[in-house]
């Protein structure tokens, strides 16, 4: 397909030392390692925070993000530069399926894992269909107006979780709002690469503020570092086996639809960035992401997805070599085998996580706006307006639908309702 690299299963990466580095090119070994570590830093904030919000073990999530990235790399035959990290699309449905209280380990993780596996299997099946017949049917089923509404629905449905996390006391609220401000300032004002790590740096600022206020000034519950001191540097993660509960599987499985829309958008964007036609790899990318999600949930990890944070790093550095993601994956796997590292993540105070989630969940909802604007969705169309309006209200109000023995939470109701409503309102409408 590109530069005659399609002959082998993997590209024959050619050495290049300056300018734009293409997917089938490579930097010298030392620079490749450094570029890979940079991608670990970029994905780290979100990949570690997502499991904490669901009460999962962040060590296992980091470990499986590395393993998942390698699976993806092999499925796309080393042609699509991408990192797979914890997906935020699962957070609301996992919280709903497990009744998670919002802090500490989640006692019902096995039930959530069964649901995430169901989503991963559905995602893989969609990938196989796309590989066989192309992806045009996905775009017909979920045009930009529907995709945007579903993405916004997830962000809005999560809003109460974020607000609750910073509402414990006035000190908690101020720390959470400080974290929000720090993330914003880093994203808007920080120079170069720093500007690509707002969640990480904003989280550090919030952590420091909480430490000063709670541990030094006694304004809140002090951060307890005893768990970090007691944890060993290296050790096996505590894996968790899934439990298959039909209700939870029906609740979580629809997230696959969101992942399809997200991944499709990412691969299109990477294709534009690299100047390559990556459409032939869309089905393979879905399959890789789906298999990685199934494997992750089989051991206690979160569902995974291609990461916008890492796309941001590529956009800044102009380094698209797929080899750097092999390095990033290896570093993540190493971190996954460090209990001390996991214990340190678990010391992040609730209000700091709350502040970060206000931004992250808000960005998920706001991404819908970007989808609509980029695709010039016409909101003078009654069909589009009613579809989006109803979907957002159902999601924000967390409308639960009971169908026989099955319960569909706010996100599931919004997802299926959105697609159904859009197509029922039909092409016969002059507004369509």
CB-count exposure of residue 117 (10 Å: 0-12, 13-18, 19+)? buried
CB 240 within 8 A of CB 64: no
CB 414 within 8 A of CB 157: yes
Q: What's residue 257's pLDDT?
A: 81
| Phi–psi pair at 402, nearest 5 degrees | -105, 120
Q: What's residue 102's pLDDT?
A: 66
Whole-Å CA distances, 4 to 8, 15, 72, 282? 10, 15, 22, 20
Domain assignments of the chain as residue spans, ordered by start: 21-425
Q: What's residue 195's pLDDT?
A: 65
Question: Do β-strands 25-26 and 401-403 pair in parallel, antiparallel, or remain unpaired?
Answer: unpaired
* pTM as predicted: 0.73
First to last CA, the chain: 37
Among candidates 261, 334, 305, 266, which has minimal Cα distance to 116?
A: 305
Question: Do β-strands 406-408 and 401-403 pair in parallel, antiparallel, or remain unpaired?
Answer: antiparallel
Write out residues in the chain with pLDDT < 50, as ranges: 1-5, 429-432
Q: What's residue 427's pLDDT?
A: 66
Q: What's residue 122's pLDDT?
A: 94
Q: What's residue 4's pLDDT?
A: 44
188 contact partners, CB below 8 Å, separation of at least 6 = 195
């Amino acid at each position: 397909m590109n530069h005659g690299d399609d002959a082998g299963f993997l590209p024959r990466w050619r050495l290049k030392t300056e300018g734009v580095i293409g997917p089938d090119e490579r930097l010298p070994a030392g620079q490749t390692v450094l570029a890979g570590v940079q991608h670990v830093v970029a994905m780290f904030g979100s990949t570690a925070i997502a499991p904490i919000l669901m009460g999962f073990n962040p060590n296992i999530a980091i470990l499986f993000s590395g393993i998942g990235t390698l699976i993806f790399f092999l499925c796309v035959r080393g042609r699509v530069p991408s990192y797979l990290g914890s997906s935020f699309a699962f957070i609301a449905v996992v919280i709903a399926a497990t009744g998670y209280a919002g802090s500490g380990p989640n006692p019902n993780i096995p039930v959530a894992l069964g649901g995430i596996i169901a989503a991963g299997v559905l995602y893989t099946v969609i990938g196989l269909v796309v590989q066989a017949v192309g992806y045009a049917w996905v775009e017909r089923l979920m045009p930009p107006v529907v995709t945007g509404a579903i993405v916004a629905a997830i962000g809005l449905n999560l809003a109460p979780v974020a607000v609750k996390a910073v509402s414990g006391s006035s000190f908690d609220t101020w720390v959470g709002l400080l974290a929000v401000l720090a993330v914003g300032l880093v994203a808007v004002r920080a120079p170069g690469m720093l500007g690509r790590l707002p969640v990480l740096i904003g989280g550090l600022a919030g952590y420091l503020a909480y430490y000063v206020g709670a541990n030094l000034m006694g304004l809140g519950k002090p951060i307890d570092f005893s768990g970090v001191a007691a944890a060993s540097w290296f050790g096996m993660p505590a894996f968790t086996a899934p439990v298959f509960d039909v209700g939870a599987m029906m609740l979580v499985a629809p997230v696959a639809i969101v992942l399809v829309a997200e991944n499709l958008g990412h691969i299109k964007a990477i294709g534009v960035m690299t100047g390559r036609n990556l459409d032939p790899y869309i089905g393979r990318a879905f399959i890789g992401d789906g298999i990685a999600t199934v494997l992750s949930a089989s051991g206690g990890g979160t569902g995974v997805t291609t990461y916008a944070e890492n796309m941001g790093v590529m956009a800044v550095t102009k380094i698209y070599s797929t080899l750097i993601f092999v390095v990033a994956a290896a570093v993540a796997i190493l971190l996954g085998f460090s209990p001390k590292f996991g214990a340190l993540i678990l010391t992040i105070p609730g209000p700091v996580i709350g502040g970060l989630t206000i931004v992250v969940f808000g960005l998920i909802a706001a991404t819908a706006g970007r989808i609509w604007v980029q695709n010039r969705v016409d909101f003078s169309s009654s069909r589009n307006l009613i579809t989006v309006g109803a979907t957002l209200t159902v999601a924000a109000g967390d409308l639960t639908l009971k169908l026989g023995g099955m319960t569909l939470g706010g996100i599931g109701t919004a997802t299926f309702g959105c697609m159904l409503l859009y197509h029922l309102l039909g092409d016969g409408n002059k507004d369509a």
